Amino acid sequence: MRFLRQSLTGLFLVALTLGVLVFAGQLVRDAVQERMDRAAHVPTIREREFAVNVVVANPQTIVPVLSAFGQIQSRRTLDVRAATGGTVVELAAGFVEGGQVQAGAVLARIDPANAQSALARAQSDLQDAISEVRDAVTAVALARDETDAAREQVALRERAFQRQSDLKSRGVGTEAAVEVAELAAASARAAVLARRQSVAKAEARVDQSTTRKIRAEIALAEAERRLVDTVITARFGGTLSEVNVVEGGLVTPNERLARLVDPSALEVAFRISTVSYARILDDAGQLLPAVARVALDVGAVDLATTGRISRDSAAVGEGQTGRLIFASLDAARGLKPGDFVTVEIDEPPLSDVVRLPSSALDASARILVLGDDARLEVMQVELVRRQGDDVLVRGVKGGAALDGREVVAERSPLLGAGIKVRRLDTQSGIPHAVEMLELSEERRARLVAFVEGNQRMPEEARSRILAQLSKEKVLASVVERIEKRMGG
């Protein structure tokens, strides 16, 4: 009985399983049949559109700006050197690093004892030379007087000889008396010759003593100059730098004591490419006296001034390229020799050019413009100049080819000719609104502390920035520049 009950239960479970399997198979078959009987549906394909930023091309006359980096230097720089050696016995109060001196001011004194002794010896030698000249002149006068006396003796002896000759011819005189008179006349003539030699020697002595006197005067002038050289003065007004001497120190001749720089005669030297150099030449090949704007970034404020191009280098230095240009500065407030500055120069204006972002131009000088039905077209342009993040271009057929066309501001590999796009922004040269920030008390206090502790910032600029920071809203650009200097 038990066996029969278990057997019937097993058969029931097997039948139930088979029934479920058949039912599941029927459901699957019906689903497949229904899917196969359903009509095929083709989805609608939509053309993809890309969103782009566009700018309107507006041909106009633009003055390109040539930008370069340069260094401030002084046109008048003088090495203060010791013309003579010795001990420094006196230094001016302003003879320090950064000291301001006036033209003609005494900077230092070197011990003048040796120079004074040399001057005294030169004066004594000159007095001896003067005395020697006076004695030589007197000797010449005496020698000439002796010569005149000897000539008188010759005349007397000649007359005596003539008289004895006459007496002999009349038979009164003797031959011996004639010979004695003749010998006396010859001796007198020999004495005249000796006196003439004495005059010549005396005149030579005058010439020698005169030369000695001239040498003594030269030595005296040198001694006086050496004495003057013991006092070092400023050739012009300026600022002292590289001071390397102390009072009581021993200096040698031609030793450099300091460097004198004229802060009112500053100029900037900057190097540009040869192509840029050719753009600032006139028709005669001369450098244009263009205005140069010079700026030094010192944090939250710029030290700026203007100048004018004055000259260029005579030759290209070894291992250098381009041209070295010099521009004289007008009022260089706050600038010092050695400052590394930026220089901007206005080039001759360009007509019928369009200013575009540099990202709108590819390597082949082509841009993408919007055509009919908002589809892109490729246009070839002429790259005239690069200006920072912008480019100045001109249509290959003139400015009219670009006039009013909408240009894609930022190219990407997905964009090309025939691609349909959607405009995001049309820039017509309208400037963006000035962004203002509301500062927290902690952030404001940190910025104020940094500005007050910046010793290199001019007092006028510090006051102006502190006034801006005290307001409820502050320019975002000012905050950004201060925090960039803070390292935040």
pLDDT at 1: 61
Domain 114-229: assigned CATH number: 1.10.287.620
Q: Which residue has the higher pLDDT, 373 or 119?
A: 119
- Check pLDDT > 60 for residue 123: yes
Q: What percent of the chain has pLDDT over 90?
A: 6
**pLDDT one-digit tens code per residue, 195-207:** 788 878 878 888 8
Q: Which residue has the higher pLDDT, 42 or 193?
A: 193
Give the range among 280-289, 335-344, 392-401, 475-484 with minimum mean pLDDT.
Answer: 392-401
In this structure, the number of other CB atoms found within 10 A of the CB of residue 175 comes to 9
**pLDDT one-digit tens code per residue, 154-170:** 787 777 777 777 777 77
Kind and range of the H or E run holding 81:
strand 77-81
Q: Which residue has the higher pLDDT, 11 or 311?
A: 311
The whole-angstrom separation of Cα 95 and Cα 76 is 18
The whole-angstrom separation of Cα 235 and Cα 258 is 13
**pLDDT one-digit tens code per residue, 372-407:** 777 888 888 888 888 888 899 988 765 456 777 888
pLDDT at 167: 73
- Check pLDDT > 70 for residue 92: yes
Average pLDDT over residues 317-334: 85
Average per-residue pLDDT for the chain: 82
The DSSP annotation for 87-151 comes to EEEEE-TT-STT-EE-TT-EEEEE--HHHHHHHHHHHHHHHHHHHHHHHHHHHHHHHHHHHHHHH
- Check pLDDT > 60 for residue 131: yes
- Check pLDDT > 60 for residue 433: no
414 confidence band (pLDDT: 50, 70, 90):
confident
Q: Which fold has domain 350-427?
A: 2.40.420
One of 3.30.470.20, 1.10.10.350, 2.40.50.100, 3.40.50.300 is the CATH number of 76-111+231-261, namely 2.40.50.100
Q: Scanning the structure block, which residue is given the tokens 């030269």?
A: 218
270 confidence band (pLDDT: 50, 70, 90):
very high
pLDDT at 84: 87
pLDDT at 428: 41
pLDDT at 326: 93
- Check pLDDT > 70 for residue 94: yes
- The three-class DSSP label of residue 197 is helix
**pLDDT one-digit tens code per residue, 213-251:** 899 899 999 988 988 888 888 888 888 888 888 888 888
pLDDT at 318: 80
- Check pLDDT > 90 for residue 275: no
The whole-angstrom separation of Cα 40 and Cα 469 is 71
E strands in 298-433:
302-312, 323-329, 340-346, 350-357, 366-370, 376-387, 390-395, 406-408, 421-427
**Contact, 294 vs 327, CB < 8 A?**
yes
427 confidence band (pLDDT: 50, 70, 90):
very low
- Check pLDDT > 70 for residue 411: yes
- Check pLDDT > 60 for residue 425: no
- Check pLDDT > 50 for residue 430: no
Q: How many CA atoms lie within 13 A of 259 on its CB side?
A: 8
- Check pLDDT > 80 for residue 456: no
Average pLDDT over residues 447-474: 79
**Contact, 225 vs 84, CB < 8 A?**
no
pLDDT at 300: 60
pLDDT at 37: 66
